[in-house]
């Protein structure tokens, strides 16, 4: 049986939503990612290490004027979390977009993310 609870992933998503309006918030990624963590969004090349992950998110959100995620986290087993999410955003030039997907997250004994992979994405833009 799976259970749903507040996790490091909840803190991570809240942080990246905040970073759209407060770019300096990305400096707090070290509170949710292990130093040598890896991130992979779909078909994009993987990013490894806290400095590169921070830069990845800085570039990823640089043209967004607003962003909001809605999600559920489910602890699958010790150290593995599944995230189902929907995100909506507005870019700085006024375009709108939305995307939903599933992420699989691995967490270390200290409760930090060691791997975050976006497994599937469905998106819309306007």
Tens of each residue's pLDDT in the chain, 126 residues:
344 457 899 999 999 999 999 999 999 999 999 999 999 998 889 999 999 999 999 999 999 999 999 999 998 988 899 999 999 999 999 999 999 999 999 999 999 999 999 987 775 555
- Residue 57 located in a structural domain: yes
Domain-embedded: residue 126: no
Q: Which pLDDT score is estimated for 52? A: 97
Residue at 13 is within a domain: yes
Which CATH number belongs to the domain containing residue 76 in this structure? 3.10.450.50
Q: Does some domain include residue 60?
A: yes
What residues make up the domain containing 47?
8-121
> Is there a domain that residue 1 lies in?
no
DSSP count for the chain of H helices, then E strands: 2, 6
């Amino acid at each position: 049986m799976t259970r749903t609870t507040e996790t490091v992933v909840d803190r991570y998503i809240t942080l990246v939503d905040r970073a759209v309006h407060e770019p300096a918030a990305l400096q707090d990624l070290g509170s949710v990612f292990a130093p040598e963590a890896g991130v992979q969004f779909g078909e994009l090349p993987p990013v490894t290490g806290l400095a590169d992950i921070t830069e990845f998110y800085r570039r990823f959100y640089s043209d967004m004027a607003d962003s909001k995620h809605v999600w559920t986290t489910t602890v699958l087993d010790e150290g593995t979390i599944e995230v189902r999410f929907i995100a909506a955003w507005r870019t700085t030039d006024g375009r709108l977009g939305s995307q939903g997907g599933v992420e699989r997250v691995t967490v270390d004994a200290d409760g930090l993310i060691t791997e975050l992979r976006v497994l599937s994405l469905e998106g819309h833009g306007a």
